[in-house]
Amino acid sequence: RNVSTGAPEVMVNFVTSCYKPELLVPLVDRITKISEVVSVVNNVNTSVGNTSVGEQEYTLYGKPTITEMLRGLTFQISANSFFQTNTKQADVLYKLIGDSAGLKGDGSEIVLDLFCGTGTIGLTLARSAKHVYGYEVVPEAIADAQKNAQLNGISNATFVQGDLNKINETFGKEFPKPDIIISDPNRPGMHMKLIKWLLEVKAPRIVYVSCNPATCARDLDYLCHGVEEKGLRGCYELKRVIPVDMFPHTPHIECVCLLELC
């Protein structure tokens, strides 16, 4: 939505194997006759695969980002940064995450937001926290998260670009021990290196947000019961799991899971 007018904003992203904008001109001309379309971008991805994230990105029409308003905050969204597509249910989802996080609201707690995307979850919690640290592998998403913090006047949030599947022994040294960890991985779930780190750091609460019940169940089992073959002992108790229907008319659900240190 446009922040000033509330009018809908639509971004169209063409993913192609090479950059030949002249071939897209007829499509762009037709699409931009739709008033809601305010951005048309072309992501170029030369590799074989189903990802929409390109190696280069070009703006073919309008602006490079669109905006959305969620839980009293404004977010800029680019084509390569993840943002929940169902905004009405995203509002429900983030309220459940906030309720599960259970921040005291006195500004004394450190929040670690793993797989933070454009910073939506972390920024909605920042006003009740001492500081929020967000980690995300996609550099465009981190750039959006930093812009979104500035856009909303939030100064107690730090966003870092890094691959959470490739963490080493230095991870966690650059921020205080978190009181609450939010983890919202993509469908493959969390890497064993990250599971190991979580079991070592022992934050009092973890809110695990998942779009894949199978990998969610696997990771929760690791955190609660450990991984015997890896010599890892579980140290969390699963308090609740709340499913959220983010994708109507499909079998897919999102789950908000609360774990507490035991």
* DSSP class of 227: B
Query: Tokens representing 98?
Result: 């906030």
d(C-alpha 37, C-alpha 22), whole Å? 19
Backbone angles phi, psi at 216, to 5 degrees: -65, -50
Q: Which residues of 190-214 are buried (b: 16+ CB within 10 A; e: fewer)?
A: bbeebbbbbbeeebebbbbbbbbee
Say if residue 184 carries a ligand binding annotation: yes
Per DSSP, the three-state class of 118 is coil
* 56 annotated as a binding-site residue: no
Question: Measured between alpha carbons, how far is 132 from 44 in angstroms, rounded to an integer?
Answer: 33
Structural contact between residues 108 and 178, judged by C-beta atoms closer than 8 angstroms: no
Neighbours of 86 (CB within 10 A): 15
3-class SS of residue 196: helix
257 part of the active site: no
Of the candidates 211, 216, 255, 257, the residue annotated as catalytic is 211
* Residue 146 in marked binding region: no
Q: How far is CA 257 from each of CA 15, 82, 220, 240, 248, rounded to the nearest angstrom?
A: 34, 20, 9, 6, 20
Is 115 labeled as ligand-binding? yes
* Residues flagged as binding site: 84, 115, 136, 184
Binding residues for S-adenosyl-L-methionine: 84, 115, 136, 184
Q: What residues are annotated to the active site?
A: 211
